[in-house]
Copies of this chain bind each other. A is one copy, B any other.
Amino acid sequence: MQPTRDQKVWMYENMLVSRFLEETIEQIYLEGKKPVFNMANGPIPGEMHLSNGQEPCAVGVCAHLKPEDVVTGTHRPHHIAVAKGVNLRKMVAEIFGKKTGLSGGRGGHMHLFDANVNFACSGIIGQGMGPAVGAALSRKMQKKPGVAVAYIGEGAVNQGAFHEAMNLAAVWKLPFICVIEDNQWGISVAKSASTAVKDNSIRAQAYGVPGYLVKGNDPCEIFRVAGECIERARRGEGPSLIEIETSRLAGHFMGDAEGYRPKGELDALRARDPIPAMKARLMAEDGMKQEENDAIVARARAKVDDAIQFGRESPYAQPEEALEKVFA
């Protein structure tokens, strides 16, 4: 299953939105944090996990999804949320902690929930698995359409939740796909130091489900494999697992000095940045001209600028609103 030209453009544009968003957040995050970096300060305080480099994982899968499909993201959720169609204004406002944000500022960047497009995430490693499996169960029981996709990092695969949820989805033959973003690092710990197998795709065998390894951080290849898995799930044939070799172009979170990275690694990864690669491909294979590119870039930029402006200018909730929304 190959993406159409429109789908490629969609993927490219969403990768750009995601990247522009991260680049803008990065700048704003640093406001108020210089000369002394103090996470508590600035317009965007707290931890900030940027997704630069991992955009292909988001767009290659989500290109197949409709709003009714369910996605759970990780602690590094922006690219996935963008590709899933989370309301960008509300999402950015949430990252700023504003009243107009997805949760009115209660959640923050690791807790983005958009019920309209069935997106959720958690800051706890591996804990998107169970809820996605539960959503898949809900669809099966209600005989409603929709698949559920859980994103998870390669480090998180060593968490018990992965194992339990994969088995449960397989036993119950649920419309579920586990997408592993293998960026080779769990904070400062390399995959080889944390994971007993080279490729997590082999772990699919432990659940009797198809397992795929996608190399090259290539949106089109991810699209192809994800398409198969999602179709399979839609046909009621059960879950599958995809491991995607991707790259983390930023620190684990902002402020990470990355002393643990081997020299040269980052440069090598940057040289393989998937976004210029996608642009080149569209130009080479799909006859995209510079003008069309400029228009796409401008659209992406405008979306981000609009959302950022909305987020920045929105007011905070009243402090005492903290006490609300504990219960439904």
The interface of chain A, by Cβ under 8 A from chain B, is: 158-164, 166-168, 170-171, 193-197, 202-203, 205-209
Q: Quick one: which of B166, B171, B196 contacts A171, CB cutoff 8 A? A: B196
Cβ–Cβ contact A167 & B171, under 8 A? no
Cβ–Cβ contact B202 & A205, under 8 A? yes
User: What is the total number of copies of this protein in its complex?
Assistant: 2
The CA-CA distance from A193 to B160 in the complex, in Å, is 20
Residues of B within 8 A of A170 (CB): 196
Other A-B contacts than A160-B161, A167-B195, 16 sampled, CB-CB below 8 A, are A158-B163, A158-B164, A158-B167, A158-B168, A160-B162, A160-B163, A160-B164, A162-B163, A167-B196, A170-B196, A171-B194, A171-B195, A196-B208, A196-B209, A197-B205, A206-B206
Residues of B within 8 A of A171 (CB): 193-196
How far does the Cβ of A212 sit from chain B's closest Cβ, in whole Å?
Answer: 15
Interface centre among A168, A196, A203 (most CB of B within 10 A): A196
Residues of B within 8 A of A209 (CB): 196
How far does the Cβ of A153 sit from chain B's closest Cβ, in whole Å?
Answer: 15
The CA-CA distance from A202 to B167 in the complex, in Å, is 13
Interface centre among A166, A167, A194, A195 (most CB of B within 10 A): A167
Cβ–Cβ contact A197 & B193, under 8 A? no
Residues of B within 8 A of A207 (CB): 196-197
The CA-CA distance from A206 to B206 in the complex, in Å, is 6
Cβ–Cβ contact A206 & B205, under 8 A? yes
Residues of B within 8 A of A167 (CB): 158, 195-196
How far does the Cβ of A184 sit from chain B's closest Cβ, in whole Å?
Answer: 15
Residues of B within 8 A of A206 (CB): 196-197, 202-203, 205-206
The CA-CA distance from A91 to B27 in the complex, in Å, is 66
Residues of B within 8 A of A197 (CB): 205-208
The CA-CA distance from A166 to B162 in the complex, in Å, is 14
Nearest chain B residue, comparing its CB with the CB of A238: B196
Q: List 18 A-B contacts (CB under 8 A).
A: A158-B164, A160-B163, A162-B163, A163-B164, A167-B196, A171-B193, A171-B194, A171-B195, A171-B196, A196-B206, A196-B207, A196-B208, A196-B209, A197-B205, A197-B206, A202-B205, A203-B206, A205-B205
The CA-CA distance from A163 to B160 in the complex, in Å, is 6
| 9 tightest Cβ-Cβ pairs between the two chains A and B | A160-B160, A163-B163, A170-B196, A203-B206, A206-B206, A196-B207, A197-B208, A196-B208, A171-B196
The CA-CA distance from A30 to B195 in the complex, in Å, is 49
